[in-house]
């Protein structure tokens, strides 16, 4: 029996299931209007290779789910049917949406109960590469939540698109068949047997077919429940245009991309090196687990070529504004958030605290509309944390002691034992969730809510 | 790496009042001597490939066999130092090698014997709910320390960590290839461990070691070896293994008080680069 006043995230979600729907409404109330898109959440067996099948849960019987192309500021209705035995919710990651439809039960979005259908009606903004995914509790069941195939691309088309490219492709990096194993940090962590790009291991499924001379716009999403990934395309470079769907002030060419869970990168690849290449994870053991895809130029054949990079290289600073950074105070109110782990046994996941408390007991920070806030992410743990702020976008301001400007994100990786500062303007009233996007961390307390006053 | 209690089965008499009983038992019991050289319950993990674990097992028998039995030195106040070197082969197998030594007043420092111990484990990719491995050990010990000079052991290993608890069970089977017990057949010598994580670095619990005798007919309880250790593990670093314990024997055939310690250091010969 739990002590009085102590509730877990799972219990919190169960109690919030009774909350009334706002913009998320039962489908029956719209019986005579057509939805713009329909999603069906159901069990699905994914064939990741010629001999390997993974039983999971997916949207519309595919992994990733269907690419939804929405238009900025044009209202849309998406009908979602839950054919699983668990309550579900769909989070529209990176959009500025009211809490009622944002897709986090912690904020007040009602769950879609098993066997029922609901409609999300909202006006998508801002433009850019977003994504949608489940936002449910998994705990020690590594076949639930973000460990499943419940993720899909969301492209919010701008009213005017000045981008110059010839072809556009979306890639999702995902890890499968997780199990909890003891790790060197003394606690259990999820480890994976299989890693895929768009649901297939390297060499299985269709290659990415391209043409010489084209400018290929790649949108890469890391939908892994817990792991960071590094991606390279042999023989080519990436010109990074946007992070988390937000244009960077200083687009730069880099040899590889790095994405923490929930991060996205949009980059141009100049297709100027005809051949058959591998686009894959830079780390050999992850690529061996399947994370890769063949990139095949037209009229080229042969064995796909891979050139192994010697090191991992990536830093947000590469894309920051080149304008001098003002050392002065931006007028932001500082909100220090200290991340720490709590040991609960060598046979258990670590539990997590923000300022000494685990969700749902974490403090609820009050925000004033229009005020600028500076969140100080003080990571006093040996784990990296991809932290995500719902319904808002923030600007990176200081990374490991070095100031920066101009990079707007909704998810960022705070490295172990470092501090990162970001700033955002409280311009979207409503309950706002902040959490680590690692499924095992958010399930064990790494969450908090902001509220507007 | 862990292994079981390396002992040679024995009627054991400790202390003055047991000496008379032991003499009486000698006529009716198999003449064996207990050898506590490496006292540890195995966990299922194996050493990673490219790594070597070097461990020193130090055991002191504070209360043990005081008299020589058929030329086998008594265990009383024997200090055992065992060097164990384990090499990881791949992510599911390893090979361990032991050098057993003994120091005792009147006998000085002596080489006791050597064992070799290949081990395989169920690969992690099989996703079994508990850790399982299988160890087999073959070795020689000098007759002044054990009348059974060539022995073989097969040791299934099962373990599981659940929250702060750790459970391990080693239902080992032993066979003598050369010595008085050669006709005895398989003997049953289980070991088990239950421990609790008090903190991230300090765990403590009970270890149990036993030898029930031949499978075909277990020894009477007083002739069995039954030993309980209060033990602690210090988890200071993944590179280090530190274990300390005090054990009592609860049957006549068991050394009655043993103090043990294990100090291990893992060496990684190949430091993988960031991209490996």
Residue B124 sits at the chain A interface (C-beta within 8 Å)? yes
| Residues B204-256 pLDDT 10s | 999 999 999 998 999 999 999 999 999 999 999 989 999 999 999 999 999 99
Average pLDDT (B19-35) is 40
- Whether residue A348 and residue B164 make contact (CB cut-off 8 A), yes or no, is yes
- Whether residue B275 and residue A181 make contact (CB cut-off 8 A), yes or no, is no
State how far residue A264 is from chain B, nearest Cα, in angstroms: 21
State how far residue A447 is from chain B, nearest Cα, in angstroms: 22
Question: Which one-letter DSSP state was computed for residue A322?
Answer: -
Residue A302 has pLDDT above 50, yes or no: yes
Average pLDDT score over chain B: 88
Distance (Å, whole) CA B212 – CA A114:
55
Contacts of A28 (CB under 8 A, 6+ apart): A117
Residue B108 sits at the chain A interface (C-beta within 8 Å)? no
Look-up of token digits 């992994």: A63
Residue B195 has pLDDT above 50, yes or no: yes
Residue B166: closest CA among chain A residues belongs to which residue? A347
| Residues B39-50 pLDDT 10s | 999 999 999 999
Distance (Å, whole) CA B1 – CA B19:
36
* pLDDT at residue A316 in the model: 97
Contacts of A346 in chain B (CB under 8 A): 161, 164, 166, 197, 200, 203, 235
Please answer whether residues B231 and B203 qualify as being in contact, where contact means their C-beta atoms are separated by less than 8 angstroms: no
At A29, the pLDDT band (50, 70, 90 cuts) reads low
- Whether residue B199 and residue A343 make contact (CB cut-off 8 A), yes or no, is yes
Distance (Å, whole) CA A353 – CA A389:
16
State how far residue B171 is from chain A, nearest Cα, in angstroms: 23
**Residue in A290, A313, A346, A349 to test binding to B, most B beta-carbons within 10 Å:** A346
* pLDDT at residue A26 in the model: 64
Q: How many helices (H) and strands (E) does chain B have?
A: 1, 13
CA distances (Å), origin B115, targets B20, B40, B59, B97: 34, 15, 17, 6
Residue A180: closest CA among chain B residues belongs to which residue? B127
* pLDDT at residue A330 in the model: 76
* pLDDT at residue B30 in the model: 36
- Whether residue B162 and residue A347 make contact (CB cut-off 8 A), yes or no, is yes
- Whether residue B274 and residue A312 make contact (CB cut-off 8 A), yes or no, is yes
Please answer whether residues A225 and A145 qualify as being in contact, where contact means their C-beta atoms are separated by less than 8 angstroms: yes
Phi, psi values for residue A15, rounded to 5°? -70, -30
Question: Which one-letter DSSP state was computed for residue A263?
Answer: -
| Burial of A164: CB neighbours in 10 Å, binned 0-12, 13-18, 19+ | exposed
Average pLDDT (A337-364) is 96
At A27, the pLDDT band (50, 70, 90 cuts) reads low
* pLDDT at residue A329 in the model: 65
Please answer whether residues A64 and A358 qualify as being in contact, where contact means their C-beta atoms are separated by less than 8 angstroms: no
At A32, the pLDDT band (50, 70, 90 cuts) reads low
Contacts of A315 (CB under 8 A, 6+ apart): A399
* pLDDT at residue B25 in the model: 37
Residue B33 has pLDDT above 80, yes or no: no
- Whether residue B275 and residue A283 make contact (CB cut-off 8 A), yes or no, is yes
Contacts of B127 in chain A (CB under 8 A): 177, 179, 193
State how far residue A195 is from chain B, nearest Cα, in angstroms: 13
Residue B23 has pLDDT above 50, yes or no: no
Closest CB to A346 among B161, B273, B275: B161
**Residue in B161, B168, B199, B237 to test binding to A, most A beta-carbons within 10 Å:** B161
At B274, the pLDDT band (50, 70, 90 cuts) reads confident
- Whether residue A193 and residue B125 make contact (CB cut-off 8 A), yes or no, is yes
State how far residue A40 is from chain B, nearest Cα, in angstroms: 30
* pLDDT at residue B118 in the model: 98
Closest CB to A345 among B124, B125, B163: B163
Distance (Å, whole) CA B193 – CA A344:
20
Range from A291-295, A412-416, B270-274 carrying the lowest mean pLDDT = B270-274
**Residue in A190, A307, A347, A381 to test binding to B, most B beta-carbons within 10 Å:** A347
Question: Which one-letter DSSP state was computed for residue A213?
Answer: T
Percent of chain A residues topping a pLDDT of 70: 92
Closest CB to A348 among B125, B163, B203: B163
Average pLDDT (A372-396) is 97
Closest CB to B275 among A177, A284, A345: A284
| Residues A83-111 pLDDT 10s | 999 999 999 999 999 999 999 999 999 99
Residue B9 has pLDDT above 60, yes or no: no
Residue B7 has pLDDT above 60, yes or no: no
Distance (Å, whole) CA A207 – CA A167:
15
Average pLDDT (A337-363) is 96
Residue B276 sits at the chain A interface (C-beta within 8 Å)? yes
């Amino acid at each position: 029996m739990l002590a009085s006043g102590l509730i877990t995230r799972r219990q919190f979600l169960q109690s919030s299931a009774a909350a009334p729907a706002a913009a998320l409404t039962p489908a029956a109330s719209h019986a005579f209007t057509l939805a713009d898109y329909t999603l069906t959440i159901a069990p699905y067996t994914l064939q990741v290779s010629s001999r390997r099948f993974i039983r999971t849960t997916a949207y519309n019987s595919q992994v990733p789910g269907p690419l939804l192309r929405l238009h900025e500021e044009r209202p849309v209705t998406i009908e979602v049917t839950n054919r699983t035995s668990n309550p579900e919710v769909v989070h529209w990651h990176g959009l500025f949406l009211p809490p009622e439809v944002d897709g986090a039960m912690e904020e007040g979005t009602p769950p879609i109960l098993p066997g029922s259908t609901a409609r999300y009606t909202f006006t998508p903004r801002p433009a850019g590469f977003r994504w949608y995914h489940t936002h449910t509790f998994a705990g020690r069941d590594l076949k639930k939540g973000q460990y499943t195939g419940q993720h899909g691309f969301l492209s919010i088309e701008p009213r005017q698109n000045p981008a110059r490219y010839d072809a556009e492709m979306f890639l999702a990096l995902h890890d499968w068949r997780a199990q909890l194993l003891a790790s060197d940090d003394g606690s259990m962590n999820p480890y994976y047997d299989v890693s895929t790009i768009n649901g297939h291991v390297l060499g299985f499924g269709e290659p990415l077919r391209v043409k010489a001379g084209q400018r290929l716009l790649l949108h890469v999403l890391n939908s892994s429940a817990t792991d960071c990934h590094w991606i390279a395309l042999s023989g080519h470079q990436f010109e990074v245009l946007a992070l988390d769907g937000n244009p960077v002030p200083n687009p730069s060419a880099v040899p590889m991309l790095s994405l923490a869970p929930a991060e996205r990168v949009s980059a141009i690849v100049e297709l100027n090196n005809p051949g058959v290449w591998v686009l894959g994870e830079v780390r050999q053991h992850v690529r061996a687990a399947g994370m890769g895809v063949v990139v095949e130029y037209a009229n080229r054949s042969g064995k796909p070529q891979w050139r192994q990079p010697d090191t991992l290289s990536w830093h947000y600073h590469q894309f920051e504004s080149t304008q001098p950074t003002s050392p002065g105070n931006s007028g932001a109110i500082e909100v220090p958030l200290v991340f720490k782990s709590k040991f609960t046994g060598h046979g258990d996941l670590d539990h997590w605290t923000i300022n000494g408390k685990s969700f749902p007991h974490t403090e609820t920070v009050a925000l004033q509309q229009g005020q600028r806030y500076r969140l100080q992410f003080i990571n006093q743990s040996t784990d990296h944390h991809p932290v995500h702020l719902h319904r808002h976008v923030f600007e990176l301001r200081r990374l490991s002691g070095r100031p920066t400007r101009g990079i707007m994100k909704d998810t960022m990786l705070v490295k172990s034992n470092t501090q990162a500062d970001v700033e955002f303007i409280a311009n979207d009233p409503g309950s706002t969730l902040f959490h680590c996007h690692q499924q095992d961390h958010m399930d064990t307390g790494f969450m908090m809510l902001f509220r507007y006053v | 790496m862990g292994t079981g209690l390396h002992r040679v089965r024995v009627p054991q008499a400790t202390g003055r009042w047991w000496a008379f009983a032991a003499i009486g038992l000698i006529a009716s019991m198999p003449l064996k001597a207990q050898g506590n050289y490496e006292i540890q319950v195995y966990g299922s993990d194996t050493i990673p490939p490219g790594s070597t674990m070097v461990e020193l097992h130090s055991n002191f028998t504070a209360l043990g066999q005081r008299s020589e039995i058929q030329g086998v030195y008594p265990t009383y106040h024997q200090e055992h130092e065992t060097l164990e070197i384990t090499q990881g082969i791949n992510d599911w197998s390893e090979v361990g090698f032991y050098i057993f030594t003994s120091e005792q007043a009147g006998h000085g420092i002596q080489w006791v014997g050597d064992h070799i111990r290949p081990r395989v484990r169920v690969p992690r990719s099989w996703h079994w709910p508990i850790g399982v491995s299988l160890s087999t050990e073959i070795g020689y010990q000098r007759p002044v320390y054990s009348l059974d000079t060539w022995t073989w052991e097969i040791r299934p290993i099962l373990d599981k960590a659940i929250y702060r608890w750790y459970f391990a069970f080693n239902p080992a089977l032993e066979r003598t290839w050369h010595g008085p017990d050669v006709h005895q057949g398989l003997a049953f010598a289980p070991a088990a461990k239950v421990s609790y994580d008090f903190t991230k670095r300090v765990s403590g619990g009970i270890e149990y070691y036993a030898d029930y005798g031949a499978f075909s007919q277990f020894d009477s309880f007083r002739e069995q070896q039954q030993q309980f250790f209060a033990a602690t593990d210090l988890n200071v670093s993944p590179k280090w293994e530190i274990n300390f314990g005090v054990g009592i024997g609860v049957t006549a055939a068991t050394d009655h008080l043993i103090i043990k310690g294990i100090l291990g250091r893992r060496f990684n010969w190949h430091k993988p680069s960031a991209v490996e």
